[in-house]
Structure 1
């Protein structure tokens, strides 16, 4: 009799899983009075991110003074930022506007795939940028030889290509799980932690896979960046000129701030054990790395960089004349 009931339960779960064709992103439905305020704030931030990063891409590609490997990587990083926020924020704005949040399983899987792919590419690009600074400061005589245009292009291509198969495989693995019972995702994007919570099968293998991928694309690049900056700081401290030390530190500080902000939130999100991460914490962290950090990044890079500010003033003078 017990065996019969278990079989019936399994059949019912499979039936529910097969009938599930969409999720509902709850988003910010717990604060209905703030929906339109949040819509206005996120829209302004999205337009700011698009405008600032597009400007960085434009001036780093057109200004002759910025045709260096450092700005080549920065323009690619800004382009990835534009793609990243375009995958997440417009969907949030539509959900805030309609106050619905229905999303098909295919659309959810597609969004997750692009979020992971672009996030992983950003991690690797930040590592490439750290390597560029390491060569520039620790091995300046061979900088033009080591960081030529062909090598820089290959590094950027590697950042994209290496992520794609891993992300597609992980997304397929997650959405191959049976989803039964509730279809409500207490989040505003299809991210791994909230989606895994809805799976009714054994998710142990998937969680291990998430940790492994996070180690490869978050922790390993982060450790390489830390190693690079240890070498950089040692080289800077050996400089006899105080002006030279200040210039070298100012060149690296913007990148280091972005690294700490980005890797800090990504590490907490994907390396923290699933039961220990509350839904509110997950939402706040996601808000941080999907909206706030992309808003701050161009500000950090432009306000602390004299070359970019000079190129920006030159561009504005051409436009206004």
Structure 2
């Protein structure tokens, strides 16, 4: 009987919605920050969409590297759209509530798409290795079918890695405070609000997050170690510079992504430093998506030529 009463009380006090705290210190300047983040969001979306359009429009870009980059752009657009629109609503209208289902859906999509991005970035490393170190075998190995399978494999891995801990956390009890000290529903802040013992779920998530980051990092290190050795053996300084320039963008993006994700997720106690996680998460959700198109492809001469071709065609049609 006592257990039934406890269960009844728990059901009555179970959280049906959460409140996203956002950035309380900045809320009085909400309109200004709304405009800043809106511009950043639209710029990120348009830049990534431009990369996708250019890649599809120019046959010279129908090569594995740009296929992976356009796939990366698609995932990146979805990734930031899971978070930024709600942040804009918080800044402009002050609407901080989010339903239980919507909160966990946002957490899953954010983590699933984030893991997929890391796996895609890992795939780009052996792609660059084959292009630079095995140029004669590159077209045969990286066929269109292989490229599609690799992208599908990255998505499936991202789904499988993140669905289990998020689903497990969603079935735990939330009967106490419902204020999330973040601007979106992330795993750590949600876990800290649970009334259940989530240590096993936290440990599982920590191990899976570590596996995602460590696996992609190891693939990148091995690939670029071989690339560096090959580049150093090139006889011409101009050839070495050209080979390095094809890899520098990838390394710059990886540095931004790994730095912020390691700070947020690769620590056993997810309840620690939740406030500082908000600033680090902005790097992943606002800064990096804004810089990625510029760093990765829009400064590439081949992309510049393709862009001019597309613009020329538009002028002809007019």
Question: Following the alignment from structure 1 to structure 2, what is the Cα–Cα distance between the partners of residues 137 and 77?
Answer: 21
Whether 2:228 is the aligned partner of 1:233: answer yes
Matches within 5 A, 1:143-222: 143-222=138-217
Number of the residue aligned with 1:113: 108
Report the alpha carbon displacement of residue 168 of structure 1 after superposing the two structures with TM. 2.0
CA contact (8 A) 1:77 1:122 kept: yes
CA contact (8 A) 1:214 1:267 kept: no
TM-score (norm 1): 0.93
CA contact (8 A) 2:19 2:96 kept: yes
Cα-to-partner distance string for 1:103-126 (whole Å, 9 max, x where unaligned): 001000110111011001100000
How many residues are paired up? 315
Q: Relative to structure 1, is the Cα distance of residues 275 and 113 closer, same or farther in structure 2, using a 3 angstrom cutoff?
A: closer
2:251 to 245, 251, 256: 256
1:44 to 19, 39, 52: 39
CA contact (8 A) 1:219 1:267 kept: no
Report the alpha carbon displacement of residue 85 of structure 1 after superposing the two structures with TM. 1.0
Report the alpha carbon displacement of residue 54 of structure 1 after superposing the two structures with TM. 0.2
Question: Following the alignment from structure 2 to structure 1, what is the Cα–Cα distance between the partners of residues 178 and 106?
Answer: 17
Structure 1 alignment gaps of length 5 or more:
none
CA contact (8 A) 2:103 2:185 kept: yes
Q: SS at the partner of 2:197? A: coil
Structure 2 alignment gaps of length 5 or more:
none
CA contact (8 A) 1:265 1:285 kept: yes
Whether 2:10 is the aligned partner of 1:14: answer yes
Question: Following the alignment from structure 1 to structure 2, what is the Cα–Cα distance between the partners of residues 260 and 211?
Answer: 20
Number of the residue aligned with 1:64: 59
Report the alpha carbon displacement of residue 48 of structure 1 after superposing the two structures with TM. 0.1
Q: Relative to structure 1, is the Cα distance of residues 165 and 313 closer, same or farther in structure 2, using a 3 angstrom cutoff?
A: same
Whether 2:25 is the aligned partner of 1:30: answer yes
Cα-to-partner distance string for 1:195-253 (whole Å, 9 max, x where unaligned): 11101221210111111111221111111111111111011101111111111100000
Which shifted more, 78-87 or 215-224?
215-224
Question: Following the alignment from structure 1 to structure 2, what is the Cα–Cα distance between the partners of residues 208 and 275?
Answer: 9
Number of the residue aligned with 1:273: 268
Q: SS at the partner of 1:273? A: coil
CA contact (8 A) 1:29 1:99 kept: no
Q: SS at the partner of 1:23? A: strand
Report the alpha carbon displacement of residue 16 of structure 1 after superposing the two structures with TM. 5.3
Q: Relative to structure 1, is the Cα distance of residues 288 and 16 closer, same or farther in structure 2, using a 3 angstrom cutoff?
A: farther
Q: Relative to structure 1, is the Cα distance of residues 88 and 180 closer, same or farther in structure 2, using a 3 angstrom cutoff?
A: same
Q: Relative to structure 1, is the Cα distance of residues 70 and 191 closer, same or farther in structure 2, using a 3 angstrom cutoff?
A: same
